[in-house]
Chain A
């Protein structure tokens, strides 16, 4: 009953946003006997930042990997920008992926490339019409936005954890995606750097008008960035609402995240 009530509130809250750009309906995925997502539902609207909360290993990262087509799901529907992911061939999937920025938990910067080459990598493949000067300008602008223009010729191994996260964010933003997927963007960072990254995510959202799904355990990050939050428990969307709505719920399963 409480869940339904909160979802009603959230639908009021989300009515200020645009059309749905990610629609997840009855999503199911299992690894062997482990049913990770059972009947997961989620809608993200244009301009909205949705935080997905849940215990470690509950399937949050699996969800965003399904959204970007890295994992195949067993059942249900998953539409991104109106396209059903499971029905896309490789080429249309690659075109769709250019509209999605993915920030990995481990930053996943290419070790053998400099920061500049990391940023240019996707740009050279998806922005073939761009000249070298245009590419350089775009790389410099994106690095300036994340405050790391001085690190342009450094190798990932020379960067700190926070710097790697920023470069990971810059790399995801370089193609000006419509959707951003963050997989625990502040994990492993100190509180100050963590707050800086959260603020940067908000700044970038305002600048590039992206919609986001943010997977996080960091409640400060969630409070700063979320327009709406959902709680994933036992492979379903257990609750859905704003930060204040969820934090005031008496349900111990939800309250545990806010303690």
Chain B
């Protein structure tokens, strides 16, 4: 086996072990509620502007780009159905997941990496506090809670952007547009897409924390942790999305 492949499997195994440790330890006290709340604010609230602006632009541009083709086939009235379905089922969760992987993943990787190299994690351990529970578990929980909420908000803002694009092109009321959007949607479209965002949050938190917690080689290692946290968690978003589609199809939701 080549050293690169060996390194890959080693990293994958270590990350899985890290995730397993989280799943084992998270259920037992002491619970760090205050730190979880602080991380929810840092991760969720502070990402809202980025997610909101991106979602708005995606909704607007996606509608503007799709409209001419539908007009050509005389299917303009299908635009709200198509946009609604695409945003809720795929574009909203994946784009939000990728934005969070970039913003949250890099921030967690860099923060934990610098805590590691400046001995803050050791200091916490020496003070008799379980640093895994305080630092890692709180951040992963916050990611699991916040990414789905950000996705729902992103979906709503994206649909609003789409409405504006349709409104610019021709006369349509707010009520009619959203009535058409929601009439095309079923719970089987929304629920699987919503469930997979919890896994996106878990992956972003887990990879960011793992990379930061195992940061080495001083400040160079901090940069490397932040970078690889973004790369790996972005890739995982697509892998989870692929698995989610297969599982959804297996249960007959598509």
Contact = CB atoms under 8 A, between A and B. Distances in A.
Interface of A: 65, 68, 70, 90, 94-95, 97-98, 100, 102, 104-106, 108-112, 121-122, 125-126, 171
Interface string B91-129: 000000000000000000001001100111011111111
A70 B114 CA distance: 18
B129 A102 contact: no
Contacts of A111: 114-115, 118, 120
Contacts of B127: 97-98, 121-122, 125-126, 171
Nearest to B128: A94
A102 B129 CA distance: 14
A122 B118 contact: no
B123 A104 contact: yes
Interface residues of B, number: 16
A70 B120 contact: no
Given A109-B120, A110-B120, A122-B128, 11 more contacts: A68-B126, A94-B129, A100-B126, A104-B122, A106-B119, A108-B119, A111-B120, A121-B127, A125-B127, A125-B128, A171-B123
20 contacts: A65-B122, A70-B126, A97-B125, A98-B127, A102-B123, A102-B126, A104-B123, A106-B119, A108-B118, A108-B119, A108-B122, A108-B123, A109-B120, A110-B120, A110-B123, A111-B120, A121-B127, A122-B127, A122-B128, A125-B30
Nearest to A104: B119
B35 to A, nearest CB: 10
Main secondary structure of the interface of B (DSSP, over half): helix
B212 to A, nearest CB: 13
Contacts of A171: 123, 127
Interface of B: 30, 111, 114-115, 118-120, 122-130
Nearest to A168: B123
B128 A95 contact: yes
A225 B242 CA distance: 63
B34 to A, nearest CB: 10
Nearest to B115: A111
B226 to A, nearest CB: 15
B29 to A, nearest CB: 12
Contacts of A105: 119
A97 B118 contact: no
Contacts of B129: 94, 121-122, 125
Contacts of A65: 122
Contacts of B119: 104-106, 108
A112 B38 CA distance: 11
A65 B121 CA distance: 13
Nearest to A181: B126
Contacts of B111: 112
A111 B135 CA distance: 13
Contacts of B115: 111
Contacts of B128: 94-95, 97-98, 122, 125-126
A91 B129 CA distance: 10
A104 B111 CA distance: 19
Nearest to A100: B126
A94 B122 CA distance: 13
Contact of B126 (A90, A97, A125): A97
A170 to B, nearest CB: 13
Contacts of B130: 90
Contacts of A68: 126
Contacts of B114: 111
